[in-house]
Amino acid sequence: MSGTLRASGAPVTVVGGSATGLYTATLLAEGGRAVRVLEGSEKYAPEARTLIVTRRMKDLPGGPGDQSIVNVINRFELMTDGRAATIELDEPDLVIERSTLLHGLAERATAAGVDVQMGSRVQTLRANGTGGVTLTVGDNGATREVLANTVVGADGTFSRVAKAAGWPALHTVPLVQAIVRLPDDLPADTTRVWFHPEDTPYFYWLIPESTERGALGLIGEDGHAARRCLERFLERHQLEPIEFQAARIPCYRHWVPPQRRLGDTDIYLVGDAAAQVKVTTVGGIVTGFRGALGVAESILHGRTTALRQLKHELDWHRLVRRSLERFRQSDYELLLDVLNPGTHGVLGTLTRDEAGRILTRLCLAQPRLILLALRTLVLPPDRPSTV
Ligand SMILES: Cc1cc2nc3c(=O)[nH]c(=O)nc-3n(C[C@H](O)[C@H](O)[C@H](O)COP(=O)(O)OP(=O)(O)OC[C@H]3O[C@@H](n4cnc5c(N)ncnc54)[C@H](O)[C@@H]3O)c2cc1C
């Protein structure tokens, strides 16, 4: 990564004005760079959505999501075919509301001097032979050209910037969720997780956003099949959907180096555009913010520490996912059976955004977990099911 500091002070052009684009833009502006954001939507009216993040979000410079917290989660209930385990968290997870998050980020970006240009959908970019790139931008039915010499693609899973600069397309998975009335037996500070490997290699979740409502969803492999599974699950649990939400989420398979050159120009990617998503849970807010921080530090100071740390984090999640992809029902039952007080302590103290430390300490607390992981990673799927 070159991380060139440009003496010209020409604006950094950020494509995409959602969570990671606005956060990158703010960090760059607060670091003294001129920044413009080109956002494709005409009006700033982000969809409301319930998201769960770990408390690590609060450690990020500027507390990007502090105003958007609508609920806190003090425990996780894990369920699989008649078995259950409860993990009490020492410090709560945070439930945030996406549109409030984005409005807060937009306000902070504007206050830092970022020039946010709505209704500016980037169609393509190309090296212009004079040391920069030219972006073709759709604007109210017309097109205009924008010159840039540093570009950050924060334009999501199907990034135009990534495509134009030559990054390969990302593998994606469908996420479907329904907003439901919270069942009577679920306290508002508890997230419930069900492992049903016959429906999904991930899990079902129910995340309360208040005492009244929660988001129930799953990640699937095929969009239609995932929707059918969700409908069956709602019926089985007698939960009435209030609304459905669906999207394709990037699936982290390997580190996507977030910087390339197009001609003489540095092009960066952040957030979903670079698959900066924890592939265990498919949470992309905290990791996307960490990617934004890494890219901003790289542009401002040529530092790559934050990006290296993010790579390690995402690689740990990939390792766990490879193991979980081969879990059968009996493996989940075993997993819940071997969770002892030591492992509960580790899971209650550390967060999903510290995967390397969690795994090391879990294996020390319960060595049978090493055998379970090794068996799923190394042995063929028709292996015997005891450890
Ligand atoms: C239903 C759902 C639930 C989720 N739940 C969670 C959760 O609980 N916890 C969690 O951590 N994560 C969750 N995620 C993932 C998380 O929302 C994403 O990882 C995160 O929002 C990615 O942000 P981003 O800014 O990188 O991309 P996006 O939010 O996709 O933003 C991309 C932006 O770029 C703009 N854009 C796109 N193309 C162009 C273009 N050509 N020109 C200009 N602008 C463009 C778009 O309009 C958009 O504003 C969830 C995702 C979904 C869909």
CA of 184 to the centre of ligand 1 (A): 32
Centre of ligand 1 from the C-alpha of residue 20, in Å: 8
**Entry pTM:** 0.93
Distance CA 325, CA 203 (A): 11
Any atom of ligand 1 within 6 Å of the Cβ of 153: no
Ligand 1 atom with least separation from CA of 159: 38
Contact criterion met (CB below 8 Å) for 80 and 339: no
Residue 217 has pLDDT above 90, yes or no: yes
291-316: pLDDT as tens digits? 999 999 999 999 999 999 999 999 99
Residue 26 one-letter amino acid: T
Can you give the pLDDT at residue 382? 54
Q: What is the mean pLDDT of residues 236-265?
A: 95
Q: pLDDT tens for residues 95-113? A: 999 999 999 999 999 999 9
Largest CA distance in the chain: 66
Cβ–ligand 1 contact at 41 (below 6 Å): yes
Residue with tokens 């004079």: 130
Residue 286 CA: nearest ligand 1 atom is: 11
Average pLDDT, the chain: 91
User: Which burial class, exposed, middle or buried, applies to 68 when counting CB atoms under 10 A from its CB (0-12, 13-18, 19+)?
Assistant: buried
CB 330, CB 292: distance < 8 Å: no
pLDDT of 348 = 84
What would the mean pLDDT of 316-345 be, rounded to a whole number? 88
Q: If you take atom 18 of ligand 1, which residue's CA is the nearest one?
A: 284
19 lines ligand 1 (CB under 6 A): yes
pLDDT in tens, 62-91: 989 888 999 999 999 999 988 999 999 988
Helix 285-301 to helix 19-30 angle (10° resolution) is 30
Strand ordering across the sheet containing 213-219: 50-53, 83-97, 69-80, 190-194, 204-208, 213-219, 172-181, 241-250
172 lines ligand 1 (CB under 6 A): no
Is the CB of 40 inside a 6 Å radius of any atom of ligand 1?
Answer: yes
All structural domains of the chain = 12-47+99-169+255-313 (3.50.50.60), 172-250 (3.30.9.10), 319-378 (no CATH)
352 band by pLDDT with thresholds 50, 70 and 90:
confident
The pLDDT confidence band at residue 338, using thresholds 50, 70 and 90, is: confident
User: What is the 156 CA–ligand 1 centroid distance (Å)?
Assistant: 6
